[in-house]
Structure 1
């Protein structure tokens, strides 16, 4: 289901190069003697200024040793010239005519300099602050057109958004590459955190398990002896499933205990996940477990937590029965064939703590619906950051 997890790359070694002047940020005004790391950064700086001024330029010369642009309007004096610094990729600005002598004020569609690498900086500022934000193309067009005296198209914003997401999140393959290092640091800086990756023979990713130490300690010491199971589908390029276990404290506050990412929900994946969970929390006395009626969960739970009281989610049961029987008289017979100890609170042998559904786990899944579209590393980090925020 998952493509191969790449090997960790070696750290690049960059040779030190003596540059005669300090580099500048692309958001600053371009001045003579400014130095940019390469021609692309110089183009970005010029493109940003063109957007702010509502002007456009055209390139008159571009090679390894020289770069020159002028205003798109004929006979306008606005121009920027730069030369390449020998033995480097850097370019130094040698001439700037900052004033436009043209009088063009009309907004033309598809602004030439509003390319994805220029718009990326503005879109990334919005997306970086809120991972759950669904920034639609029409919203971006409206925001950019209101912020700058330019007119851009929907296609330009769509390309820029995809590029901004790539710069913020990286590629899906890069995310798998960095997973081992991330988990190492997660364990190193979070006391008693447990993680494990399982791969198949050809080094293809299969499972990853994460249980933050703070969550495990809190669930044992301060929460009810209850576990609620659920699974959710990943929505990114690499399809899969996220397995989730949550618990609740005396004030019905929900806390994630552990989670895993795997290829699908089956007896093998649930057994592996619950076995790792038991290694973290041990065999709790009078443990109550709530889940849906998935056979894979029932089988795995019976093998891993044989002494726990296992109840089934009333909401799942209601919808399953309604879809199967409607108002049929055979519904009563069907319910009797299901052990009443699992679905009726009056017959439940343990303490169910008034938990009749797995809605608490469903709530966490709903909260993470946008995170499940992200690369695997950002999905794992989302849950870590959520727990860190909860503690504060």
Structure 2
């Protein structure tokens, strides 16, 4: 912030001040504020830090007229409960961090921990969750903006991929209801689709990514998982559940060396199932007890 710097409106100026105060760990207090002027001082008595801005008539823009950016108070204070912190301030800081480390996926608890350490303030779970939502909106755009791009995306999807059948269903007000697309040309292409899915907070299957390749091999699985890594990163306690394909096992070990890897297996005969279940129950009794609550047919 500097003298003669302008802002679109007073709210944008106040937001920038709040962001600065949070990063630099000080509080400011408002001395004068109306539609034409805005003046703030450091909250510590007799400190020389102060800023004065004025509206540029006839616009809503505010320009900094005077600004003493030097604190003469004893030292910059640590404020665990920073009064200038809100979801936009924390979300903007988090957005800057996420932009540099796109491969990392933060849970609200991790955000709370990292912002507490980085800003030396108390950030609870709800504040962290709101900050993440605002950061994601800055990073990806709002839901409204994303849905507005869907017709253009489907148009180009069909234009550049002959055989794809895309469709968007709207209501009587032309608002989005649902969408559909099918890769009709896969039969002629004789390719393979690679899928990655996860479980969301409601224990429902959530599609993460899919790729199309000529055939399933170690090279194609490695390529697919490398692209997946760019999206999700090496999350803490990340677990893959796959079939017994050796190509997948090797690719996971190479791309996600710290991840857990379990196998999805099937027994097609009752006697084979009973034998495997007996061996499993003997070696993993606690897991077997948990799985026993699931109907045997599943």
Normalized against structure 2, the TM-score is what? 0.60
Is 1:205 paired with 2:181? no
- Taking a change above 3 Å as real, the CA distance of residues 122 and 231 of structure 1, as seen in their structure-2 partners, is closer
Of the three residues 38, 43, 63, the one matched with 2:14 is: 43
Asked if 2 retains the 8 angstrom alpha-carbon contact of 1:183 and 1:195, the reply is no
Aligned length: 231
Which of 215, 229, 244 lines up with 1:249 in the alignment? 215
Larger Rg: 1
Change (3 A) 1:55 1:315: closer
1:70-95 Cα shifts (integer Å, max 9, x gaps): 11112322111111111222101111
Cα distance in structure 2, aligned partners of 1:73 and 1:112:
14
For the Cα contact (< 8 Å) 2:54–2:64, is it kept in 1?
A: yes
2:245 corresponds to: none
1:114 aligns with 85
Query: Which residues in structure 2 correspond to 1:250-265 (within 5 Å)?
Result: 251-252=217-218, 253-254=220-221
**Which ranges of structure 2 fall in alignment gaps of 5 or more residues?**
225-262, 276-298
Task: Show the counterpart of 2:41.
Answer: 70
Q: What is the aligned partner in structure 2 of residue 54 from structure 1? A: 25
- The yes-or-no answer on 1:152 pairing with 2:99 is no
Counterparts of 1:283-322 in structure 2 under 5 Å? 317-318=266-267
Q: Deviations over 1:155-206 (max 9, x none)?
A: 5433322221232233434432321022234455x46473511426645533
CA contact (8 A) 2:26 2:79 kept: no
Post-superposition shift, 1:46? 1.6
Equivalent-residue separation in structure 1 for 2:59 and 2:184 (angstroms): 46
Cα distance in 1, alignment partners of residues 191 and 83 from structure 2: 60
Superposition TM-score, scaled by structure 1 size: 0.47
Task: Tell me the distance in 2 between the aligned counterparts of 1:226 and 1:49.
Answer: 53
Cα gap change, 1:194 to 1:133, in 2 (>3 Å): same
**Unmatched tracts of structure 1, length 5 or more:** 1-29, 257-313, 329-392
Listed as ranges, the matches of 1:1-392 within 5 Å are 30-129=1-100, 133-148=104-119, 150-154=120-124, 155-187=126-158, 190=160, 192=162, 194-199=164-169, 202=172, 205-209=177-181, 211=183, 220=189, 225=190, 227=192, 235=200, 246=212, 248-249=214-215, 251-252=217-218, 253-254=220-221, 317-318=266-267, 326-327=273-274
The change in CA–CA distance for 1:182 and 1:143 in structure 2 (over 3 A counts) is same
Deviation, structure 1 residue 321: 6.1
Report 1 or 2 for greater relative contact order, CA contacts < 8 Å, sequence distance ≥ 6: 1
